[in-house]
Amino acid sequence: MIYPVTVYGEPILRKKAKPVDKNFEGFEEFMKNMWETMYYADGVGLAAPQVGKSLRVFVIDASMGAEEEPELKDFKKAFINPEIIEISGEKWLMNEGCLSLPEIREDVSRPEFVTIRYHDENFEEHTETFKGYASRIIQHEFDHLEGVLFIDYLNPLKKRLLKGKLLNITKGNVETHYRIISPSR
């Protein structure tokens, strides 16, 4: 099942998400739907609050970055109850977008490395350090679990320039090929 995507203005995107219980009923089905929704919407990552569930889960398929970083070839992972251990390295800029902020793309500065402890879809624990593109997406998706959006990192001038676009998103006045849930819809 493909979920509609919650967009800017929906309160759930600003909430701190809750940990997932191992015995959560319908968990497998939920994860299946997360993947399906992400691929349908052409996202490289998707966090549960973006489909209206305030849970600490996100999925990432970064394999399209393999052209520049060959080790991303099979990078397809689910992160359940993740905890950031460390974010380090030099900050670098990359153009980011978000399914919850349609039609907005901006350069965002983030540190190069992230060390994260998480459970996979079988609830097995891992602690890994990621760099480059993978680290970038992980930091972006993790932020969703904390109620943070990439536009929060922009300087006040850039934010002001986006005001009109953001207002349109809250009104549902955006073109997306996926269904959205906005405060007015």
Q: Which listed range, 1-9, 76-84, 91-99, 173-181, lies at the site for Zn ion (CB under 5 A)?
A: 91-99
* Smallest distance from Zn ion to CB 100, Å: 5
Q: Is the dihedral of CA 46, 78, 68, 39 positive or negative?
A: negative
Does 141 participate in catalysis according to the annotation? yes
Which amino acid, 149?
L
Cβ-based neighbours of 119, under 8 Å, separated by 6 or more: 79, 80, 81, 82, 125, 126
147: left (phi over 0), alpha (psi -120 to 50) or beta: left
* Candidate list 112, 141, 146, 175, residue with the active-site label: 141
Nearer of residues 7 and 98 to Zn ion, judged by Cβ: 98
Q: Terminus-to-terminus CA distance in the chain, angstroms? A: 20
The site that binds Zn ion (CB under 5 A) totals a number of residues, namely: 1
Whose Cβ is closer to Zn ion: residue 57's or residue 98's?
Answer: 98
Could you give the string, one character per residue 97-116, with x where binding to Zn ion holds by CB under 5 A and - elsewhere? -x------------------
CA dihedral 34, 35, 37, 41 (to 10 degrees): 140
* Cβ nearer to Zn ion, comparing 71 with 87: 87
Q: Which residues are catalytic?
A: 141
| Binding-site ranges for Zn ion (CB under 5 A) | 98
